[in-house]
Amino acid sequence: MDEQTLRKALSNIPLGGLRYLEKTGSTNDVALAWAADGAPDLTLVVAGEQTAGRGRGSHGWFTAPGTSLAFSLIFRPLPAEEQVTPLFSALGALAVCEVLAVQGFHPEIKWPNDVLLSRKKVCGVLAESIWAGEKVDSLVLGIGLNITPEALPPPDQLDFPATCLEAEVPFPRQDTGSLEQVILLQQIIQAVRYWRVLLTSSVFIHSWERHLAFRGEQVEIWTTGQASRIGQLDGLEQDGRLRLLTPQGRPFSVQFGEVHLRPVV
Ligand code: BTN
């Protein structure tokens, strides 16, 4: 990807601003600094390589040049969106999922916001906010999508199996032209814009729920430092919390936060 191709591909999208960095520490860090400096809504930061990419919790996010999509979008939440800011990370996952589905893949979302192909993680989302008192002033949505096998970190650095688009190309597809990074990026941003309008509606929750991985299966769920719980993954509550069932069939919900989820095998 180069800046000129990127600007041309995104020229029909009303971005608030656009910065392409061939190499940077973390696009989320650049976007957070730009947001603090007044970047308008729907400003985009894209990097060809990240040397200090960040994942959720204390995890890093490996981005070698030319192997992945790594970008961050800045949002200035509208008054109606301020009530649902925790849903922005799901917005990123749903947008990626819908784009991959149109390309013939069979993506699923590991609640709350990891995108899986063949039950392996292909995309991670990191949403971070800047607060002004009680109110979210701006929100940065960072998305990393593995495209080539070189995007994957060594297996000993993974806490969940990982994959990339090239390893999962749906058979018998010959043409991988539209897997071109800049086209995927353009489609993902358009999908983000489409689903953002629906963020406060039940349509959004239902669409997210439709893509949920491990539905009807036993999963283990835990928060760092706390005991895990096992339950059957049932679906989503109206506010996006995950609903599970105890072995006795009693429902319980899990709030967003530093939550880990894995299937019970
Ligand atoms: C995760 O699954 O742990 C979230 C990974 C998020 C990675 C993306 S890559 C672009 C943006 N910049 C970062 O430093 N992180 C996010």
* Residue labelled with tokens 């058979």: 171
Counting from 1 in the atom list of ligand 1, the atom nearest the Cα of 56 is 3
Tell me, what's the pLDDT at 163? 97
pLDDT at residue 133 greater than cutoff 60 = yes
pLDDT at residue 207 greater than cutoff 90 = yes
Q: What is the pLDDT of residues 96-112, one digit of tens each?
A: 999 999 999 999 999 99
Task: Output the pTM of the full model.
Answer: 0.95
More confident residue, 131 or 177: 131
List all residues whose CB is within 6 A of at least one atom of ligand 1: 26-28, 50, 53-56, 59, 61, 70-72, 114, 124-126, 142-144
Q: What is the pLDDT of residues 9-41, one digit of tens each?
A: 999 999 999 999 999 999 999 999 999 999 999
* Residue 93 token pair: 């996952």
Judged by DSSP in three states, 75 sits in strand
Quote the ligand 1 centre to 251 CA distance (angstroms): 32
Quote the ligand 1 centre to 49 CA distance (angstroms): 12
Closest CA to 128 of 115, 118, 139, 114: 139
Handedness of CA 202, 252, 225, 163 (dihedral sign): negative
* CA–CA dist 209, 90 (Å, integer): 10
**Residue among 44, 61, 122, 158 to mutate when testing ligand 1 (max atoms within 8 A of CB):** 61
Closest CA to 92 of 73, 110, 78: 73
* CA–CA dist 23, 49 (Å, integer): 5
* Residue 65 token pair: 């040049």
